[in-house]
Structure 1
Amino acid sequence: MTNTTPVAPVTPAPPATHRFLVPAAAAVTVVLWGSAFIGIRSAGFDYSPGALALGRILVGTITLTVMAALARKLRLPRGRTLVGVIVWGVLWFGLYNLALNAAERTLDAGTASLLVGLAPILIAVFAGISLGEGFPARLLLGIGIAFAGVAGIALATSSGASGGVSVALGLAAAVIYAGSTMMQKRLLPKVESLTMTWLGCLAGTVACLPFTPVLLDELAVAPTSATLSMVYLGVFPTAIAFATWGFALTRTTAGRLGAATYAAAPLALLMSWALLGEVPTPIALVGGSLCLAGVLVATLKLR
């Protein structure tokens, strides 16, 4: 008698290299976002907050357009998803950059790093409550260790010159950072990550167009080094880093990926040391080590 019971299809195993793609994408994002502090410092003296934000994301949009065209992945969403992506882009690429650029005009480096360091904590809390990711003990422990490291870096680099308005702008940037991550995590199942990054950057660019006259005026007198720094910010920490961030966020939890960004602070210290000759203090080095230790604790299972 012949057995006619249907046999379930066998799903082929993913390539062995697939499990390394998410950590690799997260690492690219962290390294490039760490380098953004150097770029902002280099360009921020010659470009005002609005002009720098517009120039950066305009270059980012052009770069992402080329990337999307080469990848042939552009599939525009519709309806509420399209509106959501546009709102996300205005917040993440537009308002976040404006708030952070404006804050760093008068905010000392230590306070700025401490305020931005609140974002991964907010992401973990928001993700645990609204996305059902929960509050894994190792994630919370890692975030606590990493934030202690950020506090150490802040103590070492603070000049004590922090105005109330600048602090408020820094806090606003951290809240926008966390909220935008939550929005992106919810939208990614409905839209391809590179398409979302491209469309969001375009929306942020359109929102910043009122700064065009200021950008053109400052572009005419800014030194080449500052303009090249702005271009660098658009190509690498914006286009490439946000593309790899979207890829990783699609495939892991928001809490763990947010915790991974704590590694940007010690990387920025090392880059500043190597490129700008700014020798970190022992306290800053200890803080950087704590940041890296916390990231390892929180993201050991990043996949």
Structure 2
Amino acid sequence: MATLTHDTASRMRSGLAFALASATSFGLSGPLARGLMDAGWSAAAVVAARVLLAGVVLLPLALPQLRGNWKLLRANATLILAYGAIAVAGTQLAYFNAVAHMTVGAALLIEFTAPIAVVGWLWVRYRQRPGAATVAGAALGIAGLLLVLDVVSGLSVEAVGVVWALASMVGAATYFVLSAHGTDLPGTVLAAGGLLIGGVILLVAGAAGIVPLRAATGQVAFADFTTPWWVPILLIGIVTAAIAYVTGIAATRRLGSRLASFVALTEVLAALLFAWALLGEAPRPVQLLGGALILGGVIIVRLGEPEAVPVGDPEAQAVADDGATAPPSPS
């Protein structure tokens, strides 16, 4: 049996660091978006501003990485379009619409069943049956998620909200699957292209009257302070989108879709802590216990991932990285 190489261990450590950075960055988006929507912004306008700003910020970094290789861009056009339409625009718009019809906790609970969808997809598509550790870690993570979202206190659910939340779950699962593909395409290029395409899709949908695009230039109020509207817009675009997507792609390409999706459950805990700081929503002890269970579930899933990778075997490396031999881009 081959042993775990130094390079593989280093790749795993950096992947986990990127995944936690991405989850923390994404976790800040909810409280910032809530402040903007309370100040008069529509959900679609927040998402459009967020992804377009992030795409513009990443573009100067992405173009030099292409080195004029436009053929590479054309070869991954389907991946970039799918990433922008589903993983970026679709997921965020579906989530914010879900929140408009149900509590944030209920919407998050449904969206963050995405890791189960990822495991199911890898099982069906690549015949990668989840091991006992993955199943146990998933159960522990979902139990922790239920506690973090404090479902015992009751959740307000509407049918239309459930449909939107399920759509956001599909989009989130698609994000993890697509992020692991196209490894010949620099992650910053994929993120910038997807964000810009997602933003354009939202603008077109707004111009056609499909979604409301409404912005406001007044002060945005949080728990203990108010700020000009452009401050949360800059943060939600640069930190919770540009940084979050780039680190998320880097994490998924190092950890694979399955493990990265479970580490992303820590976003819920991050969102809880940011909501405490910005919105004054203090977490209950049961929610902190839930956060510990989520982390425990992630560790168990990590222990269940393949450790040994034969050196110089690209196919085995692909299996270890993604739990399956994946094609370079979706077809």
What range is the shorter-chain TM-score in?
A: 0.7 to 0.9
- CA distance, structure 1, for counterparts of residue 293 and residue 127 of structure 2: 28
Q: Select the residue among 125, 137, 145 that pairs with 2:132.
A: 137
Q: Aligned pair in 2 of structure 1 residues 71, 82: CA closer, same or farther (>3 Å)?
A: closer
Q: How does 1:259-298 map to 2 (within 5 A)?
A: 259-298=262-301
Q: Aligned pair in 2 of structure 1 residues 104, 13: CA closer, same or farther (>3 Å)?
A: closer
Partner residue in 1 for 2:312 = none
Partner residue in 2 for 1:109 = 104
Per-residue deviation, residues 21-70 of structure 1 (Å, max 9, x unmatched):
21211111111122222222222222112111111111111111133257
Q: Select the residue among 31, 41, 51 that pairs with 1:38.
A: 31
Does structure 2 retain, via aligned residues, the 8 Å contact 1:145–1:290? Answer: yes
- CA distance, structure 2, for counterparts of residue 276 and residue 50 of structure 1: 21
Partner residue in 2 for 1:235 = 238
Query: Structure 2: which 5+ runs fail to align?
Result: 221-226, 306-320, 322-331
Does structure 1 retain, via aligned residues, the 8 Å contact 2:80–2:193? Answer: yes
| % identity of equivalent residues | 22
Does structure 1 retain, via aligned residues, the 8 Å contact 2:119–2:258? Answer: yes
- Runs of 4 or more, structure 1, over 6 Å off, are none
- Output the amino acid matched with 1:238: A
Does structure 1 retain, via aligned residues, the 8 Å contact 2:218–2:228? Answer: no
- Output the amino acid matched with 1:296: I
Q: How does 1:141-180 map to 2 (within 5 A)?
A: 141-156=136-151, 160-180=155-175
Q: TM-score, normalised by structure 2?
A: 0.78
1:74, distance to aligned residue in structure 2 (A): 7.2
Is 1:206 aligned to 2:200, yes or no?
A: yes
1:162, distance to aligned residue in structure 2 (A): 2.1
Does structure 2 retain, via aligned residues, the 8 Å contact 1:58–1:205? Answer: yes
Partner residue in 1 for 2:254 = 251
- Output the amino acid matched with 2:84: G
Partner residue in 2 for 1:219 = 216
Per-residue deviation, residues 87-113 of structure 1 (Å, max 9, x unmatched):
221111111111111111232122122
Per-residue deviation, residues 196-220 of structure 1 (Å, max 9, x unmatched):
11111111111111337965x5234
1:167, distance to aligned residue in structure 2 (A): 1.4
Per-residue deviation, residues 65-88 of structure 1 (Å, max 9, x unmatched):
133257666744355631232122
* Aligned positions, number: 290
Is 1:118 aligned to 2:121, yes or no?
A: no
1:192, distance to aligned residue in structure 2 (A): 2.2
For the residue of structure 2 that corresponds to 1:162, the secondary structure is: coil
Q: TM-score, normalised by structure 1?
A: 0.84
Query: Structure 1: which 5+ runs fail to align?
Result: 1-11
For the residue of structure 2 that corresponds to 1:291, the secondary structure is: helix
Is 1:59 aligned to 2:53, yes or no?
A: yes
- CA distance, structure 2, for counterparts of residue 157 and residue 132 of structure 1: 36
Q: Aligned pair in 2 of structure 1 residues 74, 298: CA closer, same or farther (>3 Å)?
A: farther
1:156, distance to aligned residue in structure 2 (A): 4.6
1:125, distance to aligned residue in structure 2 (A): 1.4
Q: Which has the larger radius of gyration?
A: 1
Does structure 2 retain, via aligned residues, the 8 Å contact 1:156–1:283? Answer: no
Q: Select the residue among 173, 178, 184 that pairs with 1:183.
A: 178
